[in-house]
Structures are given as structure tokens and as C-alpha cells.
Structure 1
Amino acid sequence: MLFDAYITLGIFALTILGLIVLQKRPVAVFGATLVALIACDLVTKNQLLTSIANPGLITLILLMLCSLALEKTRLLRVIASKTIVDSYYSTWFRLFGVTTFFSSILNNTAVVATLLSPIRNNPHHFASKLLLPLSYASILGGTLTLIGTSTNLIVNSMYIEASGKSLSFFSFTAVGAILVLCCGVAMFFCNRMLPSIEQNKATSEGYFIDAKVSVDSQLVGYSVEVNGLRHLESLFLVEIVREGRLISPVSPSEIIHPSDRLIFCGDITKLLQLGQFSGLEIFAEKTGTINSNLTEVVIRQESLLVGRTLKTTGFRALFDAAVVAIRRDGERVSGKLGDVVIRSGDFLVLAVGGDYKSRTNINKNFLTLSGVEPESRINGWKAWLSVGGFVTTIILAAVGVLDLLEGLVLLLGSLLFTRCLTTNEIVRRFPVDIWLVVSSAILLSNALVNSGIVEFIGGFIGQFNGPQYVYTALILVYLITWIMTEFVTNNAAAALMFPIGYTVALGFGVDVLPFVMAVAFAASGSFISPYGYQTNLMVFNAGNYRLNDFVKIGLPISVVYALVVMIFVPVFFPF
């Protein structure tokens, strides 16, 4: 038993170390943890199967899949069009209200992705004055309900595994509502610190498009001016790559040579203008799908593309897609598209093939954004079914008429049967990474129990019986979870810290719910790092922010957030 305890502690410590060192690959770290636990015989076969099929985890997966149908309707887009008005303060309040409400019942990444483009291209206000509040509001909205964020559902899945009971739909609402109110006020007063960053064409619509001049092109031998390359709508010829040499700026009198690479910058929706020039081939044109299947994505932090060029990754074979254009948070991308070193947060526009949507690696490497992608939309009765079915299921589950898991199974079946969703979409967007992270964390908590570590910690903590020790322990659990969230992402922090918080509560002999809630709220409180939460990464690039902007705005909000949680969690969930 003692040997098993040492091995389990070692695996636990290495998991945390791995998440810190390999921040971009949490799935690989948790996958290694799962393999190690099984290889060392620290868990039983029944515990393995139970962790994979945990009811809370299955509920999370089904919720994310059912919400895909809502993304395909016009609901959020119509609301987005009504949100931005002439008055900045009116826009701010509308944006905050809309974002918090929809983030409480939908995937907040989808909410932010929908509102991103209208804000970025609005004619009334600096986008940088709205995008950071957008991300923070989506985080706060997620704390309102059980289904508001994957963090809450992950904590609930582990709570079910540990206690056999589930948190209710509104367990988080009281504290979450106070967080929305208090942090909303703090955000409003911090508005003056938001930067005013001009969204010029190089930043707001600054996609860089690589086009090659064929040997027999009619452009060859004539100048840029004569060829009409300076008179395109919203596209600008910024440089020419010729035999490894960069020509920039491009003079109107510059003569076009065979095999020149013409690098344009501008509005990606105007891309098809280039088709009017004989012998001018877009980088991705060989796929034959550039006219209809354009998809805009952002590179995930853990993507295998990060730090590599498109040429060396075998991009087309990996994803059945080719890169049409690239944009990097307002920074000019220079040279041939195939030679650009990819960074996390880069925006790409892809021309996708017929097999793209069925590839299982898409969701692991990209966040798919709306606006450019001509993805299938649902209208009419299918849209009403998607929205009405989802809302009805959530309401029935909230009032206790229908079990949420059962309701989501019925809803998903209906969406598939009516073709509101397709099996290809389910496969493409299936959250395998979350499934692996949560099931591995549940298995790790089982190993901590099996090896006697939980019993030992409980006995040690039981020596301290004073109420001041309990509250101090609650603060420490919150702080450690929050720090891990900023460094290793919210889902990983929740999954790792739950067994610790739960065990500490048992050791003191008090109700476990205050510690469970502290872990859940702390894991959602990522305001300082642009990499701790997906929505932060999305607005970080779109708003051309610097890390200092997140620290300056996020630090006071984090303090207010922590104070609210530490004051009101013990009030609504007494020890």
C-alpha cells in the first residue's frame, strides 16, 4: 500500500509539472497519466469504465454537441446586429447583458465567435474597447448555471463520482449573479484603461493572400499599373517575392515576371477578384473548392502546427484543406505563405475539401470562427426546432421535470433525425480532448483513494479543528486553483484540484460543497492571462492587445472576483 501511495503521488506531481511545462498539450499529459495509472495497476477495470462513462461527463459532451445546432441558426447573429449602436455606453451595457445571458446557457466560445466579427468591424467604436469586456462577460455568464461553462460540468461530473449526487441546475446561480453584478461594475470602471487601438485595414481586415504568377500568364511583361493590380476593391498588393528576394513597397511601374508570388493584403471576402487575372493562381486553388468552401479558423495553443511552416507540416494531407490567407494580430506577415512560421492565435482562411469536416483532428488544432465559412445554415422549421428544442430541454431540466442527460439524448436524436445536425458534424466537433482530460482526472482521484493518500490527508487535517483553519484552507484551495487556471487552463485546473479540495473538506469533517464551489469558481476566474481561457485567446488577437492590457484590466477584476467568492460561498454553502 505504501509503495502504491508513492507511485500515485509521483504520477500526480508529474501531471501538474507536465501541464506547466507542456501548456500547449494538456491532452497528451492527461493521456500519459491515464496510461501510467493503468500500467501501474493503481485503478480497477470497473473504475476505468466508470470514469469514461461518468454521467456528468456524458452530459457535458451531449450539451456541447446539441449546442452546435444553435450555432447554425441566425439567432445569435440577429442579436449581434442589434447590439452595437452609436453610444459607447449603450453598446457596452447591451453587449454585457447579451453575452452574460447567452453564455449561461450556451458554449461561451460560440457566443464570442459570433460577436467577434461585428465588433471588430463596427464603424462606431474602437474594437479594443469592446472585445476584452466581451470575453470577460462570457466568462462571468458561464458561472451562472450548471451548464454555463465546461468547468462547472467537469466539477459536477467529479462530484457525482465522489458522492453519488449531482449539483442542481441553479447551484451556481446565487454566487454567479453576485459575481456578474460586482465584476460588471468593476469592468465598467476599468473601461478608461482599455486601449484605443485603430483597426486599420492591415489589422481588421488584414488577411495576407499569396498568389502565384504562372509562366504563361498574360500579366508577365507588363507593369503593376498596366495590369490593374492597384485598382482592386479592398485588396492591396503589398509585396512581391521573386527568386527569394522581397520587393516592398511595390512600385506602380514594377514589371511582373513569371513565377512571381504576389502578396495581397485586405478583405478576404474580396478574394475572388483575383480570378479575373489570367494565370494568377491562389495558393490553395488546386483544391478546386475555393469558390464555395472558405472556412476561417484560429490556431489553438496546443496545435501541432505551432512553430512550423505550412510547407513542412503536410497541411493539405492532414486536414484535406489548403491555406488561402493568414492574419496575425495586426502584425504584417511577410513572404510566401508556405514559408510562414505558424503561431498560436493566428487566423487562417482555408479552402476545404470534401473530407475536411469528417477529419477528427480539426477541433484539436483549430477554433472555427463564423463570418467567412459558408457552412450550412438551418432556417425555417429546423431553426425553430433547434432553438425551441434546446430551450425546452434546459427549462424542463431546470425545474426538475426532465433529467438533463435524458433530455439531451432525446434532443440530439431529434436533431440528427431531422438533419439539423449531421453525423459528420458530430464527429468533427466531438470534444475528445475534454473527454480524455476529465476521465483521466476522475481516474487519478480514484487512485488517490485506492492508495490511502486521501485517508492520510484526512487524518492529518483532522488534527486542526478550529473554524479559522477551515476558512484558511478554503482560501488556499481557491488560490492554488486560480493560479493553475492562469498557467494550465481552466478545465485542467478544475480536474486536478477537485480531489484535493474534496479531500481537505473530508479531513476537516465539514460539508464538501464550499470546497467544491471554490474549485469551480476559481477554475473559471481566468482574467489575467490571454492563454488561460479560449475566449481570452480569441479576443487577444482580434483586438491587437498586449499582455499588459490583460494584466492591467484583469488584475482588479480578479481581486473583486476572488473577494466575492470567498465571502459568499460560505454564506450560501455553510461549512
Structure 2
Amino acid sequence: MGLQSWIVVATFVATIAALLKYQSSPARVFGVVLVFLLFSGQIDQSQLLASVANPGLITLVLLMLCSIALEKTRLLRVIATRVIRPSYSATWFRLFGSISLSSALLNNTAVVATMLNPVRNNPYHPPGKLLLPLSYAAILGGTLTLVGTSTNLVVDSLLRDTTGKGLNFFDFTLVGAAVVVACGALLFVLSRWLPETGASGDDFHDYFVDVKVDSDSKLIGSSIEDAGLRHLESLFLVEVVRAGQLISPVAPSERIQAGDRLIFSGDVSKVMQLNQFHGLSLFADANGLLGSNLSEVVIRPDSVLVGKTLKKTGFRALFDAAVVAIRRHGERVSGKLGEVELKAGDFLVLAVGQDYASRNNLDKNFIQLSGVEPDSRLSGWREWLAVGGFLLTIALAAFGVVDLLVALVVLLGVQVGTGAVSVNDIRRRFPVEIFLIVSTALMLSFALIDSGLVQSLSTQIDGALSEEHLFVMLALVFFLTVLLTELVTNNAAAALVFPIAFSIASGLGIDPKPFVMAVAFGASASFVSPYGYQTNLMVFNAGQYRLNDFVRIGLPLSLLYAAVVLTLLPLVYPYG
């Protein structure tokens, strides 16, 4: 290999290593790779433009933007109200069936976010018995169609760029349906071993509330008992932070001093009762938002807040909101609220200002769960237009009446023109991360091809492997994608493994479709880790699961998923 080839190999390996090290920032990794590919001369201007204007990538972006209007309708909320029943079996099958079918057409994260609170607050069953099946149903349902999950469209865009021909809408359906049925049956059996965690109703017992004793407070010098701080409704004083020292447990006779930080745990909806005590200020008080509506959010893995404290982020300026309380699964949060280092998956209760809903950075940093939502609801003819227009567009494209990209351009234009989707919605929800990852992956593919590495790998495979090795190589491609999906992100895994899979198929002189589909299905197989897929992270905290819950339920599910996929791929998509 020449120097250029070695540089490309080093870039590819370094990309994977960087994704493993910086798992919460895949977009930043690919951004650096993009800059390096350009400045090192591995790609030229025409390849850059071809990558960012790739039809498959544009289709993916348009689909995600067009789905915004659908999320504003009552469709998912109507489904949510009809799922929960007194019978656990009836509830489970209604939940699994409705979520699987919804995820075949809609954004998985939006589907799970809509169902999260109805499931968590249901009056009949422990949320822990339902929330993990909710996430897995969304993942499995995404394998049913081309538009079921972003990774399917990522693979489609890479294939179109390589061969000029993409995947059909129902190419995934036969294998996907078998996966949904088989894994659904196993998941129902395994659900009996899910923990009975979580609590119904408005139970926020894990939330952490920080209250400061002002210098002029009349409580100074009083004991905790005499001040009445031990008899609050649904709030419990767990510790006092004084001069950098923690006092825990807090004795009833402990005297209150100026500057004390009183740390409560409990139901954040009861936090307003602290206003009855003179000289007590919540963290949100300093920002003038305590009287606002409360909104519950989850911090995304790629949020700018991860690894930082509230004080260092300038939270109020960023979001026009103040944090009232924080909850973290698996460990106790301690100390001053403003000095807590935030982590991906942390639940925050926000007191929001008037400008909160219009901020463009909400969906890049938070998964919205309840309370104030940034999107307005659609009603009347706009709601019918949103639902009917989306379903008609998908149907016309699915049956080949019109190209999906063209149909989505028309649909988005109609949505913007009728006010179902605003320009601000598009700015706020534009999938910058996915756009950057896929376009950079396309550029990396150009570099691999131009360097001769793909042709060299194909030639070596052609001389070293025979048809007897086909299944082994197919399995290796699938499991490599699964591994990277669990370790980095699903879209990044699909983008990185695709060139390898296509090279293997080319070297063997066979139809690349089974290997391409192995990448697509492998990138959807995130069952073992709560961090491999956003919906897993959402239910991980809401259901108060532990890591071993995912391993205990997800590992056998993942093995059955692999068995079904690897058995059916050569049958449904012959090597040719």
C-alpha cells in the first residue's frame, strides 16, 4: 500500500477509536474527521458536495422534519390512552403491538417519549414491568420498513451513493416481521423477570431539591424540628450543606445557620410549600422562575451539559429555564444543586420562562417528558392534514407511485405553507448530528475507494474465500455492526461497517444486498446496553433499572434476534 492508503487506514481506525473514547460526542468526532479528510486531500470539493447532497441523506432529513407535524397531533396520545388495561397480559400485548406498528412509520424517540408518562403513571402495573418492553418494541418495530429507523435510511443513502440504486420501502418487512414476532414472544416470557420498580402516580421520591437559607431568614437559630422542616408534605430533609461540609443525617435538634443549603428529596410538585417559610430560596428563585410551570426533561447523551455543572453552563441564558430539582438513577445526588456535575440520562425538573418554548437548542440537549412542551398542538383541519398527508405520502412512495424524496419535499412545503410546521420548528429540530455523521461517512467511503483499499480488499477476498465462507462472513459483518452499535451509536456503526460489508460482497462476486441488510439489521440490535439507543436511556432512568436488567433481558433477546436475522437473510435476499 502507498502512503495515501496508509493515511486512509489510519483515519478509519482513528475514527473508530475516537468514537469509543468519546461515546457521547459522535458528531464532534465526525466533524474532526471531515476537516481532516479535506485538509489532507483525501477528498475533493466535488466529493464533499456529492456527500452533503446525497439523495438518501436528504430523504432521511426530510422524513424527520415532516414527522414534526405528526408529533403535534393527538395520534400518539390517543394510542396511549387505549393501551393500559387492568390485565397485565392485555396491557403488554396492546403496548408491544401498538408501539411496534407506530415505530414502523414514526420517529422512535417521539413514540417512546409520548408513552413514557402514561406507562410510568399507570394505576395497575409496576412501570418496571412495561418500560423496557416499550423501548424494545420501538427498536423492533423500526426494522419493519425503510423509514422505520434512521439507520435503515443511512444504509440506503450509502448504497445509493455506491451503486446508484437504493433499497425499496418493504425490503425490510419479511425479516422485520419475523423478528418482531419471534423476539416479541420471547420478550413476553422474559418480562416476568423484570423488576417491579418505579411507582405509579406522581411519585418523584428520587428528586433532589436545593434550598438556600437567606441571611435575613427568620429561621436562623431555630432547630429543624422547631422550624417545621421535618413535617413537610412529601418532602424529606436529607442533608445540610454548611461551609462546604455535609451534615447527614440531619438531627431534629440541628440549628439552622445563614447560608445553609437544605437538601430535600421528594415530590417536586410539593416544592411550592417551601414558600411559606421566611428566607428560604430555591435554586430557581435566583432566576425569577419559581412561579412558572414545571417541565420534566432528560439530558441527552450528546448534550452540551454532560460533564458540566449548572453554574458553568449558564443554564438560564441557554434555555430561559432554571433547574428546580434533579434525579439520577443508580446513585444519590449530593451537595449544592448548582455544583452537581450533570450526566447523560439525568432527569431535571425545570421552571421555564416565556422564551423557553422558542429556543432552538431544546431537542439537541433534552428529551421532553412532561409539562411545558416546545411544540404547539395541532387541531381541526391542520391535524387531519398532518396525519392524512404523512400517511398518503408514505403510501404513495411505498407502492412506487412517486419517489419518496420528491413526495417529502412536497409534503414539507405544504406543512410549512399551512402552518403545521414552522420555520422555527425546522431550525430547532434539524438533525444536524445525523446529517454530519452520514455525510462524513460518505466522504470516508470516497477516500477508501480512491485510495484503492476497497478494490484491494475485494481482490484479496476473491482469492482467499469461497462460497462456503459466505455465511461466516455475513455473520461477521452482522456481529461487528452489533458490537459497534452497543459501543458507539447505531448510525455511526452503520456508516463505518458499510464499506467493509460492500467490499466483502464485491470480492466474493455476489449481490451485496444480504451484506447491506446485515449492516442495517445489526445497527438496530441495541438490547444489551442502556446507552446504545436513546429509547433505552429514557426507560433506564424512568423504570429505575440496573445494568444487569438490560443484560438479563437483552442478551437472550439479542441472541434470538441474531439467529432469526442470519437465518432469513440468505433466504429472503439470495447471494445471487
Scaled by the length of structure 2, the TM-score of the pair is 0.93
**SS of aligned partner of 1:83:** coil
Distance 1:141 1:27 in 2: 26
Residue 390 (structure 1) aligns with: 390
Distance 2:424 2:287 in 1: 20
- What's the CA shift for 1:101? 0.9
- What's the CA shift for 1:277? 4.5
> For the Cα contact (< 8 Å) 2:204–2:268, is it kept in 1?
no
- Report the more deviating stretch, 478-487 or 375-384: 375-384
- 1:439 alignment partner AA: S
Cα distance change on mapping 1:203 and 1:308 into 2, 3 Å: farther
Task: Tell me whether 1:33 sits opposite 2:33 in the alignment.
Answer: yes
- What's the CA shift for 1:273? 4.0
Map residues 139-218 of structure 1 onto 2, 5 A cutoff.
139-197=139-197, 199=199, 204-217=204-217
Residue 6 (structure 1) aligns with: 6
Cα deviations across residues 514-555 of structure 1 (Å, max 9, x unaligned)?
A: 111000000100111111111111111111211111111111
The number of aligned residues is 575
- 2:368 alignment partner AA: T
Distance 2:124 2:141 in 1: 25
Cα distance change on mapping 1:294 and 1:68 into 2, 3 Å: farther
Cα deviations across residues 121-146 of structure 1 (Å, max 9, x unaligned)?
A: 22222211111111111100000011
Cα distance change on mapping 1:294 and 1:197 into 2, 3 Å: closer
Cα deviations across residues 30-82 of structure 1 (Å, max 9, x unaligned)?
A: 11111111111111211111111111111111211222222222322232122
Distance 2:59 2:290 in 1: 37
Task: Tell me whether 1:66 sits opposite 2:74 in the alignment.
Answer: no
**SS of aligned partner of 2:92:** helix
Cα deviations across residues 441-461 of structure 1 (Å, max 9, x unaligned)?
A: 011011111111111111111
Cα distance change on mapping 1:227 and 1:70 into 2, 3 Å: farther
Distance 1:146 1:352 in 2: 38
> For the Cα contact (< 8 Å) 1:237–1:262, is it kept in 2?
yes
Cα distance change on mapping 1:552 and 1:142 into 2, 3 Å: same
Cα distance change on mapping 1:358 and 1:540 into 2, 3 Å: same
Cα distance change on mapping 1:371 and 1:362 into 2, 3 Å: closer
Residue 514 (structure 1) aligns with: 514
- What's the CA shift for 1:507? 1.0
Cα deviations across residues 91-145 of structure 1 (Å, max 9, x unaligned)?
A: 1111101110111111111111111112222222221111111111110000001
Cα RMSD of the aligned pairs, angstroms, is: 2.5
Residue 562 (structure 2) aligns with: 562
Task: Tell me whether 1:523 sits opposite 2:484 in the alignment.
Answer: no
Distance 1:281 1:298 in 2: 24
> For the Cα contact (< 8 Å) 1:117–1:371, is it kept in 2?
no
Distance 2:4 2:263 in 1: 60
Residue 552 (structure 1) aligns with: 552
Cα deviations across residues 390-434 of structure 1 (Å, max 9, x unaligned)?
A: 222222222222322222222222332333333223222221111
> For the Cα contact (< 8 Å) 1:202–1:266, is it kept in 2?
no
Residue 305 (structure 1) aligns with: 305
- What's the CA shift for 1:160? 1.1
**SS of aligned partner of 2:82:** helix
Cα distance change on mapping 1:200 and 1:424 into 2, 3 Å: same
- 1:387 alignment partner AA: V
Gaps of 5+ in 1: none
- What's the CA shift for 1:472? 1.7
Residue 538 (structure 1) aligns with: 538
Residue 440 (structure 1) aligns with: 440
Large movers: runs of 4+ above 6 Å: 200-203
Distance 1:411 1:283 in 2: 44
> For the Cα contact (< 8 Å) 2:234–2:270, is it kept in 1?
yes
- 2:73 alignment partner AA: T
Map residues 128-527 of structure 1 onto 2, 5 A cutoff.
128-197=128-197, 199=199, 204-217=204-217, 219-220=219-220, 229=229, 232-250=232-250, 256-292=256-292, 294-329=294-329, 331-354=331-354, 356=356, 359=359, 361-371=361-371, 373=373, 376-464=376-464, 466-527=466-527
Instruction: State the percentage of identical aligned residues.
Output: 59
- What's the CA shift for 1:318? 3.9
- What's the CA shift for 1:201? 9.3
Scaled by the length of structure 1, the TM-score of the pair is 0.93
Distance 2:188 2:372 in 1: 32
> For the Cα contact (< 8 Å) 1:329–1:543, is it kept in 2?
no
- Report the more deviating stretch, 215-224 or 279-288: 215-224
Residue 18 (structure 1) aligns with: 18
